[in-house]
Chains A and B, each alone.
Chain A
Amino acid sequence: MFPTPIEKTPRAWQLTYQSLLPLALLMWLLPLLAVALFSVKPEADFVGGGYWSLPSYFAGFENYGRVFFDSDMPRYLMNSVLITIPTVIGCVILSSMTGFALGIYKFKSNIWIFFMFVAGNFVPFQILMVPVRDLTLDLGLYNTKTGLVLFHIAFQTGFCTLFMRNFIRALPFPLIEAARVEGVSEWRIFWYVVLPLMKPAIAAMSVLIFTFIWNDYFWAVVLTQGAESQPVTAGITSFNAQYRAAYHLMSAGSIVAALPPVAMFFLMQKHFIAGLTLGAVK
C-alpha cells in the first residue's frame, strides 16, 4: 500500500493526520457550507449586512418552504425527473444492444463503428447545437421533454456503448460459445445469457447517466424554454431572476436543485464509483 499505512508511522504524524483530515474536508467543502448556511438564514440577516454571522434564528423551514410551495421549483424538479428517467431507460436499451453487437461479434467494420461512437461522444456540443435545434424544431419537438430526451438518448449512446462494449468484452466468451453449440438463437443468447451478466454494468451506467442528464444545462437552454418543459438546472436561473439578491432563497433553491444527484450518489455509491472508474484499473 502506498503511501505508508498510517498505523506504521510515528505517533506524532498519526495524530497530525487525524486532525488534518476533518480540517482539510472543511476547507474543501467551504463554499458549499457557506451556501448551506445562507439557506437557513432569515432575510433580515442579509438586509442588515450580516452575511457571515450565525443565523439570528433558524429559518430553514420558511426558506425551503417558499422554494417548494411558492415557486415553480417543484415543476422544474418534476421535469428533470421526466427527462432523466426516460433517458436512462432509453440509453440502457440502446447501448446494451450496441454493446452486445460490438462486444460479441467479429466483423470487419466493428472497430470503426465502435470508434464512431467513442469519437462522437467526445465532440464539443456546440458543433451539434444549430443542426440539432433545427432538427428538433422541424420534428415539432422544440420545447418538449420528448425532444430533449431523444437527443440525450442519442448522444449518451456514444458513451454507453463504449461502457457496455468494454464490459461485455470482459465476460467469459466460452459461455456464449457453449450456448451456440446448444443451438440457442442469438437474440436468446443476448436475453438469457448476456443480459443477466450485465446487471452490474447497467446499474453503474444508469447512475452515471442519471447524474449527467440531471446536471445538463446546455441542451436544456438550447432545446426548451419555460416552466412546462425545462429541467431544474435551467429553472434555477429563472428562479434566481425572480428572487434576485434574495440570497437565502437562491441558496435554498440551489441546494434543492443539487440534491437528487447527491442523494443518488450516496445511495448508489458503489455502482457510481464502479462506473466512473471503469478502465482506471487494468
Chain B
Amino acid sequence: MSTTAMPITEIAPQRSWYKRNEIAVTPWLFLAPGVLFFLFYVIFPIFQSFNLSLYRWDGLGEAQFVGLANYQELSTDRAFETSLWNNLKWLILYLLAIPAGLFIALFLNQTVTGIRLYKSLFFFPFVISQIVVGLVFTWFYDPTFGLLNVMLGWVGLGPINVLGDPTLVTYGIIAAGLWPQTAYCMILYLTGLNAVDPEQIEAGRLDGAKGWKMLWYIIIPQLKPATFIAFVVTIIGALRSFDLISIMTNGGPFGSSRVLSFYMFEKALSEYGFRMGYGAAIAVVLFLIMLFFIAYFLWSMFQEERAR
C-alpha cells in the first residue's frame, strides 16, 4: 500500500502558504494535541523520574542532590531484593496464562448449542476490576472460612493460610492474577483459531497429522500473531501487578509479597513512605526491565512494518 502524497498538478497563483503546504502541514496539526498531551503527561515524567532518583526528597520540603546514593542503597536493600525475585516469579508464572488460555480456547472451539454464552462466561473474569478479583480470591484463600480450605478438607489436607505464608503468598496472588489473564489469552486464541486456514488442516490430516502433532506443527505456527499479542499483554500485566498485591496482602506478610511496582509506591506514598527519590530509583529499575521488553516489542513491530 502506497502512502505517497499526490503530486499537486494545478498550482493556482494566489494560494495561501497553508494551501501550498497542506499535505506536509496537516499531519502535524492533527498530531499536535495528542503528541503534546502525551509528552506532557508520559514522556517528560519519565525523564523527571530519572532525575528525581538522584535526589533525596520527602515530597514536602526541598530536594537534596545525592547522586547515586539511592541506587547504592538499593543494592543492599533486602526488601528490594525480595521484590526483584517476586517480579521474576510473576514474569515466569504469569506466562502460564498463554498455554492455559490456548487450552481453554481449544476446549471451547466447537459449535455446540450455547457455546457463545459459554465463551462469554469464560471470558468475563477479564472485565472485572482487579480490585474485585483480589477481594474474591482473598476470601477464597481465607484460613478460617475460605473455599480453598473447605475443598482441601474434603481430600483430607490440612488448612493452609496461603496469604499468610511468606513462601506461598506470591504464588497465591499470581494464581489470582492468572484467572483474568487466562481469560484474555483465551479470547485471543479463539479469534486466532477462527482464522486458521482449513485447507492446511485438511492437508495435515491427509499427511496423517493428528492431535498433538497437528497442534504443534500446523495450528500453533498459524497462531503466531495471537501468541505475540498474548505475550506482550501478559508481560506488561506481570510487571504492572499492583492492584492485586495492594488489595490481597498490602505487601505482607512482612513484605514477602512485594514486587517492584508495589515497593515503589510503598516507599514514596504509603503511610510511612516519604522517600520520593528512593521510590523513583526503584521505578527506574522497573522501567529498565520493562525497556528490555519494550525494545523487543518495538523491534518485532518494526520488522513487521518493513515487511509490508
- Hey, which bits of chain A sit against chain B, CB under 8 A? 1-3, 5-7, 17-18, 21, 24-25, 28-32, 34-35, 38, 49, 51-52, 94-95, 97-98, 100-102, 104-107, 110-111, 113, 115-120, 122-133, 135, 150-151, 153-155, 157-158, 161, 169, 173, 177, 180-181, 185-187, 190, 211, 214-215, 217-218, 221-222, 233, 236-237, 240, 247, 250, 254-255, 257-258, 261-262, 264-266, 269, 272-273, 276-277, 279-282
- CB-CB under 8 A from B128, the residues of chain A are 32, 215, 258, 261-262
Q: Which residue of A lies closest to B232 (CB)?
A: A122
Minimum C-beta distance from A207 to chain B (A): 10
Q: Among B6, B44, B137, B265, which residue has its beta carbon within 8 angstroms of that of A181? A: B6
Q: Do B287 and A123 touch (CB < 8 A)?
A: yes
Measured in the bound complex, the distance between the Cα atoms of B135 and A166 in whole Å is 37
Measured in the bound complex, the distance between the Cα atoms of B250 and A56 in whole Å is 34
Known: A124-B239, A126-B260. A217 touches B188 (CB 8 A): no
B13 at the A/B interface (Cβ < 8 Å)?
Answer: no
Known: A101-B28, A280-B192. A124 touches B1 (CB 8 A): no
Q: Do A5 and B145 touch (CB < 8 A)?
A: no
Known: A130-B280, A218-B243. A120 touches B31 (CB 8 A): no
- CB-CB under 8 A from B194, the residues of chain A are 281
- CB-CB under 8 A from A18, the residues of chain B are 112
Q: Among B49, B196, B294, B302, which residue has its beta carbon within 8 angstroms of that of A128? A: B49
Q: Which residue of A lies closest to B270 (CB)?
A: A221
Minimum C-beta distance from A123 to chain B (A): 6
- CB-CB under 8 A from A38, the residues of chain B are 139
Measured in the bound complex, the distance between the Cα atoms of B107 and A58 in whole Å is 36
Q: Do A237 and B121 touch (CB < 8 A)?
A: no
Q: Among A35, A217, A281, which residue has its beta carbon within 8 angstroms of that of B195? A: A281
Q: Among B129, B187, B219, B242, which residue has its beta carbon within 8 angstroms of that of A277? A: B187
Measured in the bound complex, the distance between the Cα atoms of B35 and A95 in whole Å is 10
- CB-CB under 8 A from A32, the residues of chain B are 125, 128, 136
